[in-house]
Chains A and B, each alone.
Chain A
Amino acid sequence: MDDYYHSVVLDNKLCKGCTNCIKKCPTEAIRVRDGKAMIINEKCIDCGECLRICPYKAKIAQTDTWDDLSKFKYRIALPAPTLYMQFANAPSKEHVIKALQMLGYDYVYEVARGAEIVTSITNRILKTESYPRPIISSACPAVVKLVQLNYPNLIPHLLMIKSPMEMAAINARKEFCKEHNVSPSEVGVFFISPCAAKMTAVKSPIGICKSNVDGVLSIKTVYFRMFKQLAKIKDEELPDSKQAGYKGVRWAADGGEAVALNTEKILAVDGIHNVIKIFEELENDSIEDVDFIEASACTGGCLGGPLAVENMFVATARTKKFKDSLPSNGLPIEDYEMEDYEFDCPIIHKDVTKLDTDISEAMKKYDRMVSICEELPALDCGACGAPSCKALAEDIVRGIADITDCIFVLRRKVRKLAEEMMALESRMPPVIGEENKKKDGDI
């Protein structure tokens, strides 16, 4: 699998080459070159911040299409808990599940159920000393990628268990194939996602060798189709779904994973820039008395995902009705074996920060970077295509930019050149003399 697969890509036709995205990117992974944004694949964590900020909708999250469903004889839907809160005309999660069945899915397995399984396994792990504290949730793929790239000291803190989506995919396929006596290869398992990074987590997973999910559809793709079905549903037709309770469903909103655990020593942080601040403090050892950190790249948790349709605050308000109508837990959870849930692929740090592999060279480059920085105006205007003057200085020493990319430096140089030209213009070789010069000018 391609190491640098990303779901977040650019639509060149729509991009105007403005500087909105380069400024917002938390890992400084975007530059503008030749009038178009360019994503540096090595640095991108698929958080989706650029999707939200782009005024021209030129950033796209690649997901599978509705037509991809027809590649499989049987189709399973894995609705993210977030899907339940997207519709004003879906009074219960049974309505959402029914709408998916009406759209042709042969089986629906709730990712909220997968979430309850992950909660139960996490509770078991919290009783042991097997992880350094605090344990960091690995449910948000953008956060896992951030740790892998920028916080290698925190890798041992990452919870090495499969995500609710993966647990749901494994169980769904197993259950369906057993019940209907079909071959696993005939079954397509599709996650319905509010999240761009989940697509990357399926195509190029971290922590597992291969994903059990066959495709990812964005909530945007299914929204209108479901909306129309929901209007047709009669209450007596509703399926009886007890897979997940409120604890699993609550994972959709920020803090949902943490509050489901049997510990009160929890810290829940949402929004990628806030997550970065907490990770910085964690690296200083200055966070005490916390057992578990839930970190979501999106503000508001998955409900704030870039591929969700409903306004995050409206969706959050809708979680209340699930609290009132659902039991706190779904069906009882069996004891899973470690091999069923544990990551099977180590998470290896990828250093995208260092200036050079040789420390002396790196120090030379660093010194150069500091002196280039002093030449730059410190305006962080972005007109050079880098997010800040500091980033431009670093790009220059890395050899991917030039000092004259800065329009202020360029202007200074042009002015100096003009002054020199003026000074030279008035000088003539002594053999020609002033009289000849005038003649020369008459021609």
Chain B
Amino acid sequence: MGLSGQKVTLRYTIAAEDFISAGEASSHVKKTLNKLGISHELVKRFTIAMYEAEINTVIHANGGEAYVEITPEKLMVRISDNGPGISDIEKAMMEGWSTAPEHISEMGFGAGMGLPNMKRYADELAVESEVGVGTVVTITVYLS
């Protein structure tokens, strides 16, 4: 419980290379936020950023987990994976930079817009990564 008393938490498992269900977690979060009456502009920003992170986890990281925390003050999602990790985060934040393998780019993914888009839509974006261990992406959007 936060200081304000209220908190909604949601947890999802993101399957690796499952393009059919990719996006289901962010879609469910969107429906939840709409039920909570969060402004549509913020819902859009938060869920697009989360969608990008979710797709990244599907493509690059052998799947992972998403933990969403909603309070009257902010929306937060932490997506953690056991993937290969990012060796140069600064480079990964650049538009167009992608390590997606060819068969993924052919599907129209891997345009190198994932992290830059997350940054664009989130109020705060934190990327912690260790090569060989995994990556944790935390996206925050403030409600006020």
Is A286 part of the binding interface, using a Cβ–Cβ cutoff of 8 Å? yes
Report B25-57 residues with CB < 8 Å from chain A CB: 26-27, 30, 32, 34-38, 40-41, 43-44, 47-48, 51
B30 & A363 in contact (Cβ 8 Å cutoff): no
Give the complex CA separation of A360 and B5 in angstroms.
8
Is B7 part of the binding interface, using a Cβ–Cβ cutoff of 8 Å? yes
Most buried by A among B26, B36, B47: B36
Is A410 part of the binding interface, using a Cβ–Cβ cutoff of 8 Å? no
A366 & B48 in contact (Cβ 8 Å cutoff): no
Report B47-87 residues with CB < 8 Å from chain A CB: 47-48, 51, 70, 72
A186 / chain B contacts, CB cutoff of 8 Å = none
Give the complex CA separation of A286 and B38 in angstroms.
22
A362 & B44 in contact (Cβ 8 Å cutoff): no
A152 / chain B contacts, CB cutoff of 8 Å = 40
B104 / chain A contacts, CB cutoff of 8 Å = none
Contact of B34 among A284, A288, A354, A356 (CB under 8 A): A354
Number of interface residues of B (CB under 8 A): 27
Give the complex CA separation of A153 and B47 in angstroms.
12
Contact of A363 among B8, B27, B51, B117 (CB under 8 A): B8
Contact of A366 among B5, B23, B32 (CB under 8 A): B32
Q: Residue of A at shortest CB range from B34?
A: A353
Q: Residue of B at shortest CB range from A362?
A: B36
B27 / chain A contacts, CB cutoff of 8 Å = 280, 284
A153 & B37 in contact (Cβ 8 Å cutoff): no
B43 / chain A contacts, CB cutoff of 8 Å = 153
Is A349 part of the binding interface, using a Cβ–Cβ cutoff of 8 Å? yes
Contact of A362 among B5, B35, B41, B108 (CB under 8 A): B35
> With A360-B72, A364-B6, A367-B8 in contact, do A355 and B37 touch (Cβ < 8 Å)?
yes
Give the complex CA separation of A359 and B71 in angstroms.
9
Give the complex CA separation of A284 and B30 in angstroms.
10
Q: Residue of A at shortest CB range from B117?
A: A285
A359 & B37 in contact (Cβ 8 Å cutoff): yes
Report A329-361 residues with CB < 8 Å from chain B CB: 349, 351, 353-357, 359-360
A363 / chain B contacts, CB cutoff of 8 Å = 6-8, 36, 70, 72
B26 / chain A contacts, CB cutoff of 8 Å = 284
Report A102-155 residues with CB < 8 Å from chain B CB: 152-153
Report A364-415 residues with CB < 8 Å from chain B CB: 364, 366-367, 394
Contact of B37 among A285, A288, A356 (CB under 8 A): A356
B35 & A286 in contact (Cβ 8 Å cutoff): no
Is A283 part of the binding interface, using a Cβ–Cβ cutoff of 8 Å? yes
Contact of A357 among B6, B35, B37, B44 (CB under 8 A): B37
Report B95-131 residues with CB < 8 Å from chain A CB: 108, 117
A286 / chain B contacts, CB cutoff of 8 Å = 23, 51
B38 & A359 in contact (Cβ 8 Å cutoff): yes
A284 & B70 in contact (Cβ 8 Å cutoff): no
Q: Residue of B at shortest CB range from A351?
A: B37
Give the complex CA separation of A362 and B39 in angstroms.
13
A354 & B40 in contact (Cβ 8 Å cutoff): no
> With A363-B6, A363-B72 in contact, do A284 and B23 touch (Cβ < 8 Å)?
yes
A367 / chain B contacts, CB cutoff of 8 Å = 8
Q: Residue of A at shortest CB range from B70?
A: A363
Give the complex CA separation of A340 and B37 in angstroms.
37
B8 / chain A contacts, CB cutoff of 8 Å = 363, 366-367
> With A284-B23, A284-B51, A364-B6 in contact, do A359 and B36 touch (Cβ < 8 Å)?
yes
A349 / chain B contacts, CB cutoff of 8 Å = 40
B35 & A366 in contact (Cβ 8 Å cutoff): yes
30 A–B contacts, CB within 8 A, in A order: A152-B40, A153-B40, A153-B44, A283-B30, A283-B47, A284-B26, A284-B48, A284-B51, A285-B117, A286-B51, A288-B108, A349-B40, A351-B37, A353-B35, A354-B35, A354-B37, A355-B35, A355-B37, A359-B6, A359-B37, A359-B72, A359-B143, A360-B5, A362-B35, A362-B36, A362-B37, A363-B36, A366-B8, A366-B35, A394-B35
